[in-house]
Amino acid sequence: MRYQSQKVAYAYFICAMGLFAIQVLGGLTIGWIYVQPNFLAEVFPFHIIRMVHTNALVVWLLLGFFGATYFLVPEESEREIWSSKLAYLQLAILIVGTLGAVIGYGFKIHGGREFLEQPLWVRFGILIAAVIFLINVSMTVLAGRKTAITGVLLMGLWLLSLLWIFALINPSNLSLDKMYWWFVIHLWVEGTWELVMASILAFILLKLTGVDREIVEKWLYVIVATALFTGILGTGHHFYWIGTPGYWQWIGSIFGALEIIPFFLMMSFAFVMVWKGRRNHPNKAALLWSLGSATIAFFGAGVWGVLHNMHGVNYYSHGTQITAAHGHLAFYGAYVAINLAIITYAMPILRNREPYNQVLNMASFWMMTGGMAFMTFTLTFAGTIQTHMQRVLGYYYMEVQDELALFYLMRWISGIFVVLGALLFIYSIFVVRRHEVIEAGPANPAPTVSDPLPGE
């Protein structure tokens, strides 16, 4: 670790992993409620557990992004973080807000808007934390070296924070409300978050492969341009059925279909960088997560998104289990995996050790990815049947749900593997074995504890 202020990232990663565990356990509970609808109905109703599941997902991903930023910005800027105290204050505000929101949900205090259920004071607290973060990181970057990675990262984080303002506005007009809602939800996950993901991926691959920075930056600029070009107007594929003008069906269909391009470029970028790489970095687990993130994001956010965002298809598939399949694989590939990649890369450095527990770490990757892939296929088949029975043949909603019981059971079983993989990952990151299961051989020498990692 070259800069002492990078230790801030460690606190963010710990909190993120705690919420990660809560999120996947909540998802497993929800999956079982689909199988046994009355499970916990009197204690924790389905909609409350779902709020915890989705909100924990968003918050822990944001904590991962913030931690990644505090880790990589000092190295890219070649200076300490402007204020470590502000970084810890920001973390405290976010944790207090998260706990306040969860407690409020238990007492049925929430806003009712999916993903934005937080009480108004919590949303204001998030905005304050975002302002603190932006000032802290921007001052660090402005006073140090400027790179394409920090430039793209800051662009994504600034836009992300500015879009959060729409979460504070709740107009009485339902169509306008939905447009503002999608400004946050879509332009986060299919716009600004893509910029954050691309910059983190570029940083990791730069460190792991040793490819010239100039090559990495050229790829990064192309990815950013296509992400913004397709993502902003691609928001239109959510405007089809909310009372907006008909021209959004054309805009949403065309630009929604083009949204696969930046994810294809990110996948190509990752593999080309590894192919061109000149460095045999000992952290193979971080490389696996990086390549896995880019690949799964292409299929989850790209391919599964294009499958049903054309207005003629979406007319039938909207709101079915096909949407759930797309959402689960896209979030896992694009944002969960990239956070786990930077955590896998950063934690040995933050703890002043050589890469550890790599076999267990990589086993967690295959366990989670396999479980999520099976879940995606299960939900896709369930959604296809649901679309035909409900939207074409005209069966009642609950009649169709009864016919999907087997798919929900298979989805829950796949969720068990995702949870086990997540817990194994957390163990592999925080519990250091005395000896590795497989030690590095002479062709891949690992540095001693006192030596810096290659590229650091």
Q: Does residue 178 sit within a domain?
A: yes
CA distances from 150 to 15, 139, 183 (A): 24, 12, 24
Determine the 3-state secondary structure of 114 from DSSP. Answer: coil
Residues 208 and 250 in one domain: yes
- CB-based burial label for 160 (10 Å; 0-12, 13-18, 19+): buried
Reading the block at residue 283, the tokens are 């952290």
Domain co-membership, 133 together with 238: no
Identify whether residues 223 and 369 lie together within a single domain.
Answer: yes
Q: Return the pLDDT at 441.
A: 44
Encode pLDDT of 387-396 as tens digits.
999 999 999 9
Quick check: is 454 in a domain? no
Same domain, 165 and 126: no
Digit-coded pLDDT (tens) for 216-241:
999 999 999 999 999 899 999 999 99
Q: Tell me, what amino acid is at 169? A: I
pLDDT in tens, 99-149: 988 888 877 788 778 888 888 888 899 999 999 999 999 999 999 999 999
* Residues 301 and 347 occupy one common structural domain: yes
Mean pLDDT of 370-385: 96
Q: Which of 116, 146, 176 is the last residue of a domain?
A: 146
Residue 22 has pLDDT above 70, yes or no: yes
Q: Is the pLDDT of residue 156 over 80?
A: yes
Nearest to 186 by CA among 176, 194, 196, 197: 194
Range of the domain at 268: 155-433
Non-local CB neighbours of 441 within 8 Å, separated by 6+ positions = none
Mean pLDDT throughout 18-23?
95
pLDDT in tens, 270-318: 999 998 887 788 899 999 999 999 999 999 999 999 988 899 999 999 9
pLDDT for 3 equals: 86
Structural domain contains residue 455: no
Cα(371)–Cα(5) distance, integer angstroms: 37
pTM: 0.91
pLDDT average, residue stretch 432-447? 51
Q: Which residues contact 444 (CB under 8 A, 6 or more apart)?
A: 280, 282
Pair (131, 237) in one structural domain: no
Structural domain contains residue 17? yes
What integer is the mean pLDDT of 73-85? 93
Q: Kindly state whether residue 447 falls inside one of the protein's structural domains.
A: no
pLDDT digits (tens, 9 = 90+) for 310-359: 999 999 999 899 999 999 999 999 999 999 999 999 999 998 888 888 99
pLDDT exceeds 70 at position 452? no
Asked if residue 367 and residue 262 are part of one domain, the reply reads yes
Q: Which of 90, 122, 146 is the last residue of a domain?
A: 146
Say what percent of the chain tops pLDDT 90.
71
> Is the CB of residue 239 less than 8 Å from the CB of residue 248?
yes
The reply to whether 128 and 67 lie within a common domain is yes
Same domain for 41 and 125, yes or no, is: yes
3-state secondary structure of 171: coil
Asked whether 118 and 54 are in contact (CB, 8 A), the reply is no
Is 442 domain-assigned? no
Q: Same structural domain for residues 299 and 390?
A: yes
Burial 279-288 (b: 16+ CB within 10 A, else e): eebbbbbbbb
What's the whole-number mean pLDDT along residues 423-429?
A: 95
**Three-state SS for 13?**
helix
Nearest to 26 by CA among 58, 62, 54, 63: 54
- From 146, 175, 206, the end of a domain falls on 146
* 451 vs 72, higher pLDDT: 72
Domain count, the chain: 2
Higher pLDDT, 278 or 45: 45
Q: What is the Cα gyration radius of the chain?
A: 22
Query: Does 35 reside within a domain?
Result: yes
Clarify whether residues 132 and 227 are in a common domain: no
Pair (125, 223) in one structural domain: no
CATH classification of the domain holding 223: 1.20.210.10
Q: With respect to residue 450, please indicate whether it lies within any of the assigned structural domains.
A: no
pLDDT confidence of residue 454: 40
Q: How would residue 159 be classed by pLDDT, with cut points 50, 70 and 90?
A: very high
